[in-house]
Chains A and B, each alone.
Chain A
Amino acid sequence: MGARVVTVTSGKGGVGKTTTTANISVALSRLNQRVVMLDADIGLRNLDVVTGLENRIVYDIVDVVEGRCNLRQALIKHKQFPSLYLIPAAQTRDKTAISPADMLDIVAKLKPEFDFVIIDSPAGIERGFRNAIAPADEVLIVTNPEVSAVRDADRIIGLLEAENKQPGKLVINRLKPDMVKKGEMLSADDITDILALDIIGIVPEDEFVIPASNSGVPVTLNEDSKAGLAFQNIARRLLGENVPLMDLEQQPGFFRRLVKLFNG
């Protein structure tokens, strides 16, 4: 048995892989799961700052692979969430510092100790991506409601098929319900139509996300944040709970429309 290995990937950069990894991991640990986050973005590590662990790094994943420390020494325990750990990426090396086989090896050693291994994939489809998906049991594909992000997600889905991985699940991040309503943004349905993949969560654009990453406190801890709630829901769905998708579209009532009308 052992941990479920979930890789968070996207193809395109900047769609919210690291934010998703951090928030789902925190949410899972709050649901009493033992979680280890593995940053596979060697050379461009960020999972440490998003989770507020940047000052605690001594060893990283490349140190483990190259034998400068053992796996246990590279595990950073989150003080606020005792069942959450991080294995950081190396910052001064590149993706070729580790191989898919190294990843399989590390993950095999982590599996008996945890309920979840969550791997933060780098952008792209090269070595870093291969490393990140090699040990994955499940893949979450993060995309934004934009042509470029959806196109790249499609490419990732094709590559996962070629690797005989299970079809991934979609996280649609940074959706703006108002714009969708005006017809100026791809809707979640448009995206699932195109990619023919199940959605595990829709995360609305939210003004709390950036302040959260500014301070290294994942947004899922903010009770006022819809994005934070969306990440919690994804964690619960991962655990098999049947959580309906949030109703993001607030239909303005007749009165509100009337007010809007007179206000221009």
Chain B
Amino acid sequence: MTNFFDRMFGKNNKPGTGATAKARLEFVLVHDRINLPPERMAAMKAEILEVIAKYVSYDHEMVDISLEQRDRSSALVADIPFQKAKDVLASDEDYDSDLKSWEESKIQQAEAEFDDATGKAQDITEPSFIDDDELNPEAEGDDED
């Protein structure tokens, strides 16, 4: 029945090979025009992302780097959404493990110091303060006046 109506009203929703031809041409011409075959393009993308990863965390799933045509010139258009700050913290395993190992090393250090002092915590040398009286004898004299 739908076929009947399609034929009746000259409707044809199925895209023909003409559309395929256009899409294939657009793809091949983008690479022809800048003389960069798809493989080299993929290598360039990977390298760009490597550099970006050195500085910021980005959402791997959402990355879109592609060549766009503006009339007859080509442009590299990169859409690389950064991860939100809280996601960065929550998901940054390196950061978490760094923090953990830092805490562990501090605890170990403290324990080691405890052992060195034969069961007793080492005497902590109190910072010595210069006596106010010695430094400033006149101050007392002022009081007496």
Interface set of A (CB-CB < 8 Å, partner B)? 146-147, 150-151, 154-155, 157-158, 161, 179-180, 182-187, 190, 193-196, 252, 257-258, 260-261
Contacts and interface: CB of A to CB of B under 8 A. Distances in A.
A184 B16 contact: yes
A261 B26 CA distance: 36
A183 B22 contact: no
A151 B32 contact: yes
Output the residue of A184, A187, A252 with the most chain B CB within 10 A: A184
A194 B18 contact: no
Provide the main secondary structure of the chain A interface.
helix
Contact of B10 (A154, A184, A257): A257
Contacts of B17: 183-184
A183 B33 contact: no
17 contacts: A147-B21, A147-B24, A147-B28, A158-B33, A183-B14, A183-B18, A183-B19, A184-B16, A185-B16, A186-B18, A186-B21, A190-B18, A194-B26, A194-B29, A196-B69, A258-B8, A261-B4
A185 B18 contact: yes
Nearest to B13: A183
Contacts of A147: 21, 24-25, 28
A88 B60 CA distance: 62
A186 B22 contact: yes
A249 to B, nearest CB: 12
Contacts, number: 62
A185 B25 CA distance: 13
B16 A183 contact: yes
B72 A157 contact: yes
Contacts of A195: 72
Contacts of A257: 7-10
Contacts of A196: 69, 71-72
Nearest to A257: B10
Given A185-B21, A257-B8, A258-B8, 18 more contacts: A147-B25, A151-B29, A151-B32, A157-B72, A184-B17, A185-B18, A186-B21, A186-B25, A190-B18, A190-B21, A190-B22, A194-B22, A196-B71, A196-B72, A257-B7, A257-B9, A257-B10, A261-B4
Output the residue of B18, B24, B26, B29 with the most chain A CB within 10 A: B18
Contacts of A183: 12, 14-19
Interface in B72-116: 72
Nearest to B26: A194
A167 to B, nearest CB: 8
Contacts of A155: 32
A157 to B, nearest CB: 7
A194 B21 CA distance: 11
Given A147-B24, A257-B7, A257-B8, A154 B32 contact: yes
Nearest to A182: B16
A208 B9 CA distance: 32
B8 A151 contact: no
Given A146-B21, A185-B18, A186-B22, A151 B12 contact: no
